[in-house]
């Protein structure tokens, strides 16, 4: 134990006068007598008072000396030294990635940081840096504990990947010649090493608490020709036990059904389901009764959008069935000008394959296919199982009057009659090609129930995209803005908070939280114009909660004492002094509040 003001022990000399007072004090024995009537006739007064008495050590004297000693010790200001992670200027880098939401890792980091900054001063200042997908400085050179506490408490785990390298660069950019800067990384380390490891002048506090987690790894749209949107859901179980969970779906916050899936331990489960939604609708999936260690990945949202219609050109004789098919499939049209995205060649010469093409009984076979003869009166005997193009398509009743007998070793046969291929898929010059070996007008295909579905699937496969898409990106991806001159951008956050942006803002980067962001533009007269709607999703890799140690070289301080904090004993000594004073008062007043013994006389 050391003392800040050793001269305070000089007041211990007050113990001398206290002892002298006890030696000069008149002391008469206390005796209980039945009466003082006999004393009234006494003529010679006798005094028992003696100027100097022999010092007697009483409990009251000892308590008063102890109180005096406690106050003398308080004035001397005893203290002890403890090592601290704070230097003259410490940059606290908080990892706010998705994995820091696992089992309260970020909350633990915030609690530990608050204890570190409880007694900031001019000698120990801190800066707060948020290491999300887009690192930023929340507070620079803070020495007011209230402001630092507010900055730390504002931190939240997001759904993206932490850019720790960028955060460290920000921290080093705060260094000044007169105040050396050390970096303290409060992180789980992530799954990938940093480019600059080992990180010089830094220390790491690792947070790796882990718990069972069931996550929505994928929530996307699949093509549909049944008049509804098909949603694809993928769940991943990072726990050690198989779990059964129910996922509730909603369209524009209205219930739209649910799915129950059994997800094996350390495995995944997938489901594709139709959902009644159209362009512009908001689709949400949420895991019900899923109490796990990372709630942020228990839900996902997407927006149904419409892809631009793709122009389809029908060459050759042109069947009215084909033209009607193109007009009926959403996302495709055969009306319009410009370069067609897809070509349907119905008979006639083999066209140049420079774009996705649907060949129907051409006069010459395409590359990789050879024809030997024709076969007639064919019935379907084989449909490729598990093929998405043939999903819910029954061609068992298809009859073909005549078809080419071809050999195509590098092509995928979807449908055949015996050994005669009828429908094949292949690739020529890097372009997708669907090949029908028969003329559909010489078959009963156009009157089959599955023909519209089959045709729509082939067009979607050729296009390489669906007629419905979702506007989604990983959490932390900035949203591009096209703010008109003289207008301001306004962003509605996933939680309903509204952010007003300054004029001329080119992007909005505070998108760490998963959910839907809606942008609108407000001109000088208050008129509102709609802007982009963007979805930010939880990064699936963060659900694993990976953690590791980051190699560092240790914090750099200006002097040895910069990493030592002085802790005074004064609060405890004062508490002891007050307790001794209370006891001294209790003893000096003849121990009040205790029952007295009664003297019984006869």
Give the pLDDT confidence of 42-90 residue by residue, as tens digits: 555 555 555 666 667 777 777 777 777 777 777 777 765 655 667 788 8
Taking the C-alpha atoms of residue 152 and residue 135, their distance in angstroms, rounded to an integer, is 15
pLDDT-based confidence at residue 562 (cuts at 50, 70, 90): very low
Which CATH number applies to 310-465: 3.40.50.12780, 3.40.50.880, 1.10.10.10, 3.40.47.10? 3.40.50.880
Q: At 4, which helix (H) or strand (E)?
A: none
Q: Which class does domain 83-210+546-565 fall in? A: alpha beta
| Phi and psi, residue 521, nearest 5° | -120, 135
User: Which has the minimum average pLDDT: 105-119, 150-164, 304-318, 477-491?
Assistant: 304-318
The full DSSP string for 53-122 is: ------HHHHHHHHHHHHHHHHHH-EEEEEE-S--SEEEEEEE-SGGGGGGGHHHHHHHHHHHHTTT--S
Sketch the domain layout of the chain as residue ranges. 2-81+570-588, 83-210+546-565, 219-300, 310-465, 476-536
- Compute the 3-state secondary structure of the chain and give helix, strand, coil in percent, each to the nearest 5: 25, 35, 40
**358 and 479 Cβ atoms separated by less than 8 Å:** no
CATH number of this structure's domain 476-536: 2.60.40
pLDDT-based confidence at residue 228 (cuts at 50, 70, 90): low
The pLDDT of 555-570, averaged and rounded, is: 52
pLDDT-based confidence at residue 100 (cuts at 50, 70, 90): very high
Q: Torsion-angle region of residue 286: left (phi > 0), alpha (psi -120 to 50) or beta?
A: beta
The pLDDT of 96-101, averaged and rounded, is: 94
**584 and 70 Cβ atoms separated by less than 8 Å:** no
Full-prediction pTM beyond 0.85? no
The pLDDT of 330-351, averaged and rounded, is: 85
CATH topology identical between 310-465 and 476-536: no
Instruction: Spell 398-421 as b/e; 16+ CB within 10 A means b.
Output: bebeebbebebeebebbbbbeebb
| pLDDT over 80 (residue 482) | no
- Percent of the chain at pLDDT > 90 equals 38
User: Which has the minimum average pLDDT: 83-92, 180-189, 549-558?
Assistant: 549-558
Peptide bond into 198 cis (omega under 30): yes
Helix 320-328 to helix 451-463 angle (10° resolution) is 70
CATH number of this structure's domain 219-300: 2.60.40.10
> Who contacts 466 (Cβ-Cβ below 8 Å, separation ≥6)?
221, 222, 223, 307, 331, 460
| pLDDT over 50 (residue 403) | yes
pLDDT-based confidence at residue 593 (cuts at 50, 70, 90): low
**201 and 558 Cβ atoms separated by less than 8 Å:** no
Instruction: Spell 545-567 as b/e; 16+ CB within 10 A means b.
Output: bbbeebebeebbbeeeebbebee
């Amino acid at each position: 134990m050391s003392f800040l003001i050793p001269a305070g022990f000089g007041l211990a000399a007050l113990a001398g006068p206290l002892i002298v007072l006890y030696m000069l004090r008149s002391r008469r024995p206390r005796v209980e007598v039945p009466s003082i009537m006999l004393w009234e006739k006494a003529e010679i007064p006798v005094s028992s008072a003696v100027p100097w008495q022999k010092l007697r050590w009483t409990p009251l004297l000892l308590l008063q000396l102890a109180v005096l000693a406690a106050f003398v010790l308080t004035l001397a200001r005893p203290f002890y030294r403890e090592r601290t992670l704070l230097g003259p200027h410490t940059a606290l880098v908080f990892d706010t990635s998705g994995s820091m939401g696992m089992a309260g890792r970020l909350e633990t980091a915030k609690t530990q940081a608050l204890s570190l900054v409880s007694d900031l001063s001019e000698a120990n200042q801190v800066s707060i840096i948020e290491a999300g997908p887009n690192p930023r400085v929340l507070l620079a050179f803070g020495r007011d504990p209230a402001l630092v506490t507010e900055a730390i408490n504002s931190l939240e785990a997001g759904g993206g990947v932490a850019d720790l390298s960028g955060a460290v660069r920000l921290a080093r950019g705060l260094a000044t010649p007169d105040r050396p800067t050390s970096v303290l990384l409060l992180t789980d380390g992530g799954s990938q090493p940093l480019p600059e490891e080992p990180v010089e002048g830094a220390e790491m506090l690792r947070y790796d608490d882990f718990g069972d987690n069931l996550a929505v790894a994928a929530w996307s749209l699949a093509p549909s020709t049944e008049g509804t949107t098909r949603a694809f859901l993928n769940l991943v179980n990072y726990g050690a036990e198989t779990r059964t969970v129910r996922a509730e779906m909603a369209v524009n916050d209205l219930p739209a059904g649910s799915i129950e899936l059994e997800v094996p331990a350390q495995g995944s489960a997938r489901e594709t389901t139709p959902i009644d939604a159209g362009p512009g609708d908001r689709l949400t999936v949420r895991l019900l009764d899923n109490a796990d260690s990372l709630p942020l990945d228990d839900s996902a949202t997407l927006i149904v959008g419409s892809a631009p219609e793709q122009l389809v050109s029908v060459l050759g004789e042109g069947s009215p069935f084909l033209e009607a098919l193109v007009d009926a499939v959403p996302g495709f049209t055969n009306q319009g000008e410009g370069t067609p995205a897809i070509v349907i060649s119905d008979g006639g010469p083999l066209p140049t394959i420079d774009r996705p093409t649907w060949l129907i009984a051409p006069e010459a076979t395409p590359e990789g296919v050879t024809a030997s003869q024709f076969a007639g009166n064919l019935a379907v005997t084989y449909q490729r199982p598990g093929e998405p193009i043939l999903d819910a398509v029954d061609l068992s009743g298809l009859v073909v009057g005549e078809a080419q007998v071809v050999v195509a070793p590098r092509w995928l046969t979807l449908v055949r009659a015996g050994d005669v291929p009828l429908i094949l898929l292949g690739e020529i010059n890097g372009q997708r090609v669907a090949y029908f070996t028969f003329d559909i007008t010489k078959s009963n295909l156009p009157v089959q129930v599955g023909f519209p579905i089959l045709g729509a699937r082939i067009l979607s496969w050729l296009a390489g995209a669906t007629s419905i898409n979702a506007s989604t990106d990983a959490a932390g991806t900035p949203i591009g803005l096209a703010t008109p001159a003289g207008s301001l951008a306004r962003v509605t956050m996933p939680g309903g908070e509204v952010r007003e942006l300054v004029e001329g803002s080119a992007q909005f980067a505070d998108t760490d939280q998963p959910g839907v962001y809606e942008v609108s533009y407000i001109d000088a007269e208050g008129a509102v114009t709609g802007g982009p709607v963007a979805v930010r999703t939880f990064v699936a890799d963060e659900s694993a909660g990976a953690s590791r140690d980051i190699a560092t070289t240790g914090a750099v301080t200006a002097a040895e004492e910069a990493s030592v904090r002085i802790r005074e004993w004064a609060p405890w000594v004062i508490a002891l002094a007050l307790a001794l004073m209370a006891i001294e008062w209790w003893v000096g007043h003849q121990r009040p509040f205790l029952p007295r013994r009664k003297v019984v006389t006869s």
